[in-house]
Amino acid sequence: MDITIKPIDKINAKITVPGDKSISHRAVMFGSIACGDTEISGFLTGDDCMSTISCFKKLGIDIEVNGENVVVHGKGLHGLSEPDGLLDVGNSGTTIRLISGLLAGQKFVSRLNGDASIQKRPMNRVIKPLSQMGANIKSTNNGYAPLEITGTELKGTEYHMPVASAQVKSAILLASLYAEGETTVIEDMPSRDHTEIMLNYFGADIKNTGGRITSRPVKELYGKPLTVPGDISSAAFFIAAGLLTPDSEITITNVGINKTRTGIIDALLEMGADISIINERSAGGEPVGDLIVRTSELKAITLSGDIIPRMIDEIPVFVAAALAAEGTTVIKDAQELKVKESNRIATVIEEFGKMGAKITETDDGMIINGKQELKGNTVYSHLDHRIAMSLAVAALNAKGDTVITDADCVGISFPNFYELLDSLRK
């Protein structure tokens, strides 16, 4: 599907964005290996989370989906059964990496694969630490999917992560539930901690002492009701739209504001953005708030170090803000962008380039001169949801219309994105 985005004059709106993708995946996975029912509200019904549901159904779990309300009838830590055929993770890196940790300690063999993008995403980053725990995982494709996992007994380990990755950390923590002895993951920079929060909420024993995350096995986990907050990664597109469009104000209610995810807000505040967070509260151990965003004159900054993992998924839309800011923005330490759903350094530079932006590629990021006027053009999503949505936001303040080809990939994380974007015009 192609979509045409026309420029917008001003925005005055109050919206909510769909549920958090990371938390929705985890609710299904952890609910499946917990005893009893996990009733989830605010579940993200995007394609990635539906891939997780279909995998766990194949592993013998009964899951009822009623729009954003999902009930997982968990069978306890040892209740999964051998899947009949391949587990298809679709486009979802979170599904394949987390599930690998979980399947490593089962008593059966599982085969995993996904789409063309998944088959280019590095899996050695989970194969290595899981193998150190005794896991038997084979890639038939040189460190990429497809994978074959022969469940086996596992032993606890200590693993110092070479990259900040919540997916790797979570895979190890899931395997630790089946391992003998304790497991410690050491992270130099904090990555999102939804796994630690939700597993503990279900009865696990995981502690973080200054970046050493230690898990001691427990006998069982217990399902509990969960409310998934709105996804800050999805809110980011509307935050940028509100900041960059003249005379605008946009309120986004019920957004997850876990500190391991709010790098985008911190970066924009440092650039001079007018963003306030009100009604701070908590849901299932996760902090939530409402955001009010007003048109702002932004100033360039340098992004590097700890903030990068805290906003890794928001960097493509951050580029749209940097292009409008005054001065030169530098993004460093962001090599991980190269192994996302697309190579996001390359795809951002290529597609924003088609709209007239000149961005310099570096080994670990980009250099972006500000105050660049964008022109509408035909641009390509590269089948990457966040690239499509970042281009759509930039298009709101470009000169002329923009056509995004293969635009329907937004269904991965934000099924109603274009409808919500269109509602800003009313």
Q: Which residues bind ligand S3P (CB under 6 A)?
A: 22, 94, 165-167, 170, 192, 312-313, 336
Dihedral sign of CA atoms 234, 239, 245, 251 in order: positive
DSSP letter (8 states) at residue 410:
G
Closest CA relative to residue 344, chosen from 354, 353, 334: 334
Which of 193, 231, 290, 313 is catalytic? The answer is 313
Measured from the CB atom, the residue of 13 and 339 that comes closer to ligand S3P is: 339
Would you say 96 or 424 has its CB closer to ligand S3P? 96
The strand order across the sheet containing 144-150 reads 87-88, 109-113, 144-150, 136-141
Verify whether residue 401 is a known catalytic residue: no
**Which has the closest alpha carbon to 358: 388, 338, 328?**
328
Measured from the CB atom, the residue of 94 and 390 that comes closer to ligand S3P is 94
State which residue, 75 or 310, has the beta carbon closest to ligand S3P. 310
Question: How many whole angstroms separate alpha carbon 233 and alpha carbon 84?
Answer: 34
- Residue 21 CB, shortest distance to ligand S3P, in Å, is 7
Q: Nearest approach, Cβ of 37 to ligand S3P (angstroms)?
A: 23
8-state DSSP, 409:
G
Q: What does 66-86 look like in DSSP terms, one character per residue?
A: ETTEEEEEEE-TT-----SS-
CA 239 distance to own-chain centroid: 17
Quick one: angle between helices 166-176 and 124-132, nearest 10?
30
For ligand S3P, which is the closer residue by CB, 163 or 218? 163
- Nearer to ligand S3P (CB atom), residue 187 or residue 408: 187
- In the complex, the smallest distance separating the C-beta of residue 33 from ligand S3P, rounded to whole angstroms, is 17
- CB-wise, 26 or 58, nearer to ligand S3P? 26
- The least distance separating ligand S3P from the CB of residue 376, rounded to whole angstroms, comes to 29
Cβ neighbors of 259 (< 8 A, separation 6 or more) are: 190, 287, 310
Residue 209 burial by CB count (10 A; 0-12/13-18/19+): exposed, middle or buried?
A: exposed
Nearest distance in Å: CB 309, ligand S3P = 6
CB of 261 to ligand S3P, least distance (A): 10
Coil, strand, or helix at residue 122? coil
Distance CA(200)–CA(40), nearest Å, equals: 17
Task: Write b or e for each residue in 243-264: b if 16 or more Cβ atoms lie within 10 A of its Cβ, otherwise e.
Answer: bbbeebbbbbbbbbbbebbbbb
Q: How far apart are CA 133 and CA 127, in angstroms?
A: 10
CB of 98 to ligand S3P, least distance (A): 7
Active centre residues (catalytic)? 313
